[in-house]
Structure 1
Amino acid sequence: MITSPSSVRRSERSRRATLEAALELCTEKGYGRVTVEAIAARAGVSKKTIYRWWPSKGAVMLEAFAGMLAGATPFVDTGEIEADLRTHVNGIVKLISTPPYGPAYAGILSEMHHDDELARAVREQLVGPRVEAAVERLRRAQEQGQIPEDADLPLTVEMLYGPVYYRHVLRKPAQDEATVAALVAHVLRSLSAGPRPAGEGGAQASRGEG
């Protein structure tokens, strides 16, 4: 069947209306109180239409959140990895601290623990691509000599993101810019903090001898 341009435009309008309705309702009611029926009513589409495009409410919320995350938290490259990581992490903190994105993401993280399909979608659509982009930015810094050659880049990403999502999931106050700067500086320092050769005082230092 050939799809007409007008049908494509109608479908795209309906898709966007659905994503916007989901986020609006999440802000107004909280993630747990949002239903597919309510999203359909707010968006002006049928429940059947939503289930044709998404398998669950969580999948709708995930697409809405992932689309905003990519645009709001780019991996800039000014040539200074520490400054660029501060910019990136501050962007994440701001996004997940602001309705509707914060409540939506908290709901997604909670729901994925008992929805295997949603958990897989989160890994494939959100976590995986973001980690790959972060690793690529770190790799460029590594090639420029700003990060040690033997640094474990995927682990570095977890060290950067972990404290942010830990605070988000536990509903602790979000980091301010000074805290983010301290986090980034600490992670980058840790990459160069491996054990020193014994001939350079490492053995004595490890035993606490002076």
Structure 2
Amino acid sequence: MTENAAARRGRGRRPAAEVRAGVLAAAARILLTDGLRAVTFDRVATEAGSSKMTLYKWWPSPGALAAESYFAHSSRTLQFPDTGDIRADLIAQLGSFIRWLTDEGAAKPLSELIGAAQMDPDLAQAWSQSYALPRRELARVRLRTAQQHGQLRDDADLDIITDQLWGACYHRLLVLKVPLDDTLAERLVDHALRGAMA
């Protein structure tokens, strides 16, 4: 147990929001450092200075906890800018996502979460509700704003644009197993916005 966890236990009953935030932070640290298999209720409870029963009450499985912790930990890094320039904002956000995977070590736990979600219904639901759908909606909101300002065609399919951009990253990471390089964000955005026709 960390000194911080021991100190927190000595204060008496903590507010639920504080306990939950501590649990999510501990789970994210474990996930990003040691991988999905290391995220157990025993280890997370110990590192967070929390009761294991609390974790059982809030999450149906360690996988579901790992998925929510991934979202909570990544949300600040993956915020969507709105500078008024849709091309620049897409490149900035997609670039942040690629750096999150490559430079900050999220590629392995992300791959593990998606792989495990195919066999774990609790994890699959947590991944969809806590991460995939909220991230998708953030992109759609930014694209819709650009559409309303005349930067995208009125009939532009915002879901398809989202799939083209982030789906390409997932495809390269999970299926092709090829590197995500520094130029990928700009190339993906330009092809999605301008197309490939002469």
TM range (shorter): 0.7 to 0.9
Q: Is the 8 A contact 1:23 1:101 kept in 2?
A: no
1:112 aligned to 2:149? no
Question: Which one has the largest radius of gyration?
Answer: 1
* 1: CA distance, partners of 2:122 / 2:32: 24
Q: Is the 8 A contact 1:164 1:175 kept in 2?
A: no
Which whole-Å deviations, capped at 9, do the CAs of 1:21-70 have from their partners, x for residues lacking one? Answer: 22232344322243222222222223212111111111111121112332
Name the structure 2 match of 1:136: 141
Name the structure 2 match of 1:147: 152
* 1: CA distance, partners of 2:17 / 2:105: 21
* 2: CA distance, partners of 1:18 / 1:73: 21
Distance 1:98 1:43, change over 3 A: farther
Secondary structure in 2 aligned to 1:72? coil
Alpha carbon RMSD of aligned pairs, Å?
2.3
1:82 aligned to 2:87? yes
Distance 1:64 1:100, change over 3 A: farther
Which whole-Å deviations, capped at 9, do the CAs of 1:118-151 have from their partners, x for residues lacking one? Answer: 2122222222222222112111211222211211
- One-letter code of the match for 2:73? M
1:125 aligned to 2:130? yes
Structure 1's unaligned 5+ residue stretches are 1-5, 194-204, 206-210
Q: Is the 8 A contact 2:67 2:113 kept in 1?
A: yes
Name the structure 1 match of 2:178: 172
1:42 aligned to 2:47? yes
- One-letter code of the match for 1:41? T
Higher relative contact order, structure no. (Cα contacts within 8 Å, ≥ 6 residues apart): 2
Structure 2's unaligned 5+ residue stretches are 1-11
Secondary structure in 2 aligned to 1:71? coil
Equivalent pairs, count = 186
* 1: CA distance, partners of 2:18 / 2:143: 38
**Which runs of structure 2 are paired with 1:1-210 in the superposition (5 Å)?**
7-9=13-15, 11-99=16-104, 101-170=106-175, 171-176=177-182, 178-190=183-195
- One-letter code of the match for 2:181? Q
Which whole-Å deviations, capped at 9, do the CAs of 1:3-30 have from their partners, x for residues lacking one? Answer: xxx7453x33432332222223234432
Secondary structure in 1 aligned to 2:156? coil
1:153 CA displacement: 0.8
Secondary structure in 1 aligned to 2:81? coil
1:160 CA displacement: 0.7
Q: Is the 8 A contact 2:63 2:122 kept in 1?
A: no
User: Which deviates more, 24-33 or 181-190?
Assistant: 24-33
1:100 CA displacement: 5.4
Q: TM-score, structure 2 length as denominator?
A: 0.82
User: Which deviates more, 88-97 or 25-34?
Assistant: 25-34
